[in-house]
Amino acid sequence: MTQQKFSNAASTLERPETLPLTGIVAASLTPVSEDFRVDVERLEEHLRWLLAQGCTYVSPFGSTGEGPSFSASEKRQALEALATNGFNMRRVIPAAMSVALDDTIATIEAAADLDCRAVLIVPPYYYGARAEGIAAYFAACANRLGGFPIDVVLYHIPQLSRAPFTAELIEMLLNRHGDRIVGIKDSTGIEPQTLELRRRFPQLQIFTGDDRVFPALIGNGGAGMIGGMPNIVAAELAQRYTSPEQRNDADAIERAARRIEAVDANGGVVALKALKAHMTNDPAWSRPMPPLLPLDDAGTRTLVESFAATGFDFGTRLG
């Protein structure tokens, strides 16, 4: 399908009024086929389930979605297939997770062409660039595109990228790219740092990637969370977002912490995929992209037991 043909088709899709850039955003898992292609059918089913569970947006191809393992063309093909099937692309915030300038530009273009709500951009991570270098990378993207054609959420995850969005760099990008920089996702899990971003940049939508930081951030006017745990507990997080009483409940906070610890102890992404496979009774969900390997049976049993011990009922939360 050519871009021109798709653009003509997309113009016939319903485009509802843009929702505020807030709430629970699921950093979606990416199901893959036996030959390691994006399984669009399962992906679409999962994204629709996440929205039905109360997520405001879905964000495919980030860290949880194994974004660095997919090319820009693979991402575009998957996003085009979703749009062709009538998926509401205004509820989609795809992630650009590449070091290659062309790939980042291609992902931004795809998100803009398909009328996505925004694009999440990680800094170029291989060389651990300085602020001036990352700013130059963003400037090169903007110059090639004639300015950013879509809202941008900065993805701060220095534990993986080795390239942080410092306050100095954020101010530099805001000065250069105006109101197209609309938010930051802070995936450090360091509550004081996230709250400082909220204090220093009140004009931006500040998200956390960590359920444990989520209550304090919302209580201080933050936008919400963009994270992997909604793949499993979306409904619970959506309820906590709208209810201060539930959000600040000590037991709920403790359960969230235990679940994150169980996922992190069992491989992060592969643990979430194992949980999704168990919830749906669909083993295909447990398959990650190489070089990741699926969680073994013993690990899956331990993980499922850990979740069950927090009161999570797999039988009533089919995905």
Summarised one tens digit per residue, pLDDT across range 58-115 is 999 999 999 999 999 999 999 999 999 999 999 999 999 999 999 999 999 999 999 9
Other CB atoms within 10 A of residue 232 CB: 24
Q: How many domains does the chain have?
A: 1
pLDDT tens digits along 143-185:
999 999 999 999 999 888 888 899 999 999 999 998 899 999 9
Q: Is residue 296 domain-resident?
A: no
Evaluate whether residue 67 is within a structural domain. yes
Range(s) of the domain holding residue 182: 3-243
Domain annotation covers residue 233: yes
Contact present, 62 and 70 (Cβ < 8 Å) = no
Mean pLDDT of the chain: 91
Residue 11 burial by CB count (10 A; 0-12/13-18/19+): exposed, middle or buried? Answer: exposed
Flag whether 215 is in a domain: yes
Q: Within 10 A of 6 (CB to CB), how many other CB atoms are there?
A: 18
Does pLDDT of 7 surpass 60? no
CA distance 168 to 295: 40
When pLDDT is averaged across residues 268-290 and rounded to a whole number, the result is 97
What is the chain's Cα-based Rg?
19
> What is the per-residue pLDDT for 271?
98
Is residue 280 domain-resident? Answer: no
CATH code at 67? Answer: 3.20.20.70
For residues 141 and 136, give the distance between their C-alpha atoms in angstroms, rounded to a whole number.
9
Overall average pLDDT of the 242-268 stretch? 92
